Amino acid sequence: MTKGSLKVTVVEAKKLSDLDFIGKSDPYVKLVLDVNKSQQTTIKKSDLNPKYNEEFDFTTDGQKELKVEVWDRNTIGSDEIIGSEVIPLNTVYTKGYHDVWIKIKAKNDKRNHGEVHLILEYAV
């Protein structure tokens, strides 16, 4: 796989699990292409169905997958992960475009913790 450009649009999320005891989660989405290549959306306050419509550009060098993590921002203590999922990149590499809803799951928990809508575009 040659180097290319991957544009990821985080459109929205829905039905996110609420991790906060008081109020609602303040979610953001983190995209991890590899250890040194990650970007994140803005934080949406008290919203379990946030709209992002944010674009992120990555330079690819043969990575096979993109990890999508949804986090809850905490003002006190550490942020908590709501859930994550890994997307294989073979479809976007082959077709150049992939519009997908992914279900996120918590570690060691098979239950659905929400969904994230992404649009991926690839060009050499």
Which amino acid does the sequence have at 68?
V
CATH code (residue 83) = 2.60.40.150
Distance CA(76)–CA(56), nearest Å, equals 28
Distance CA(67)–CA(41), nearest Å, equals 14
95, two tokens? 């077709």
Can you give the pLDDT at residue 118? 99
Which amino acid does the sequence have at 119?
I
**β-strand partners of 88:** 65
* One pLDDT digit (tens) per residue for the chain, 124 residues: 568 999 999 999 999 998 766 668 999 999 999 988 999 999 999 999 999 999 999 999 989 999 999 999 988 889 999 999 999 999 999 999 999 999 999 877 778 899 999 999 999 9
* Domain of 27, in residue numbers: 4-123
- Nearest to residue 28, comparing CAs of 86, 77, 73, 83? 73
- Nearest to residue 70, comparing CAs of 23, 6, 117? 117
Can you give the pLDDT at residue 77? 86
For the chain, how many structural domains are there in total?
Answer: 1
